[in-house]
Homo-oligomer: A and B are copies of this chain.
């Protein structure tokens, strides 16, 4: 099973982190984004959004980090990480949307500008960050994990751009519950440190 991958990408780290925690073996195929490999075949055909990560499992292709988490957990990860009932799946999907929307357009966008020079509005991204982190912090005041009272792919989808947020000049200092949640996740067997 191949993961088309970029070491510095938080979206790729979501997948690598989950695979490490769930003990799923991935063959990492580095993608040379600096030279536009994601804009040429075969990558551009595997993912018309021209992004990594992309997963290829015996010819079956999955794009989008959230979808790859669902695929890997549902196929190889067992029911602990992605349950087989709609109530639990929906509880997790709330956080997958939060990762794709709120986290992507605040913590991740600020880092993309600062670390990689992406032409995004860093001020707008930074302005959204405190509300995103405050919401997370409030949830984690009474919950050890994002969903279902245990580690799931919801945590793997949200943690990477939180732990990487200081690379976009976001201060995590005020969010003690978030810090304790990160420590819990970092203490899980198999934890893969951030890039």
Q: Is A66 positioned at the interface, with any CB of B under 8 Å from its CB?
A: yes
State the oligomeric state as a number of copies. Answer: 2
Q: Give the CA-CA distance A63 to B96 in the complex, in Å.
A: 12
Candidate in A73, A84, A93 with the most chain B CB atoms within 10 angstroms: A93
Cβ A71 vs Cβ B87 within 8 A: yes
A135 partner, pick from B48, B67, B89, beta carbons under 8 A: B48
Q: Is A64 positioned at the interface, with any CB of B under 8 Å from its CB?
A: yes
Count the A residues whose beta carbon is within 8 Å of the partner chain — how many? 38
Q: Give the CA-CA distance A183 to B91 in the complex, in Å.
A: 32
Give A65-97 as 1s and 0s: 1 = Cβ < 8 Å from B's Cβ atoms.
Answer: 111101101110000001011110111011011
In the complex, the chain B residue whose C-beta lies closest to that of A102 is: B49
Q: Give the CA-CA distance A105 to B102 in the complex, in Å.
A: 10
A125 to chain B minimum Cβ distance, whole angstroms, is 11
What residues of B have a CB within 8 angstroms of the CB of A65 in the complex?
A: 97
- A residues contacting B by CB (< 8 A) are 48-49, 60, 62-68, 70-71, 73-75, 82, 84-87, 89-91, 93-94, 96-98, 100-102, 104-105, 121, 124, 135, 138-139
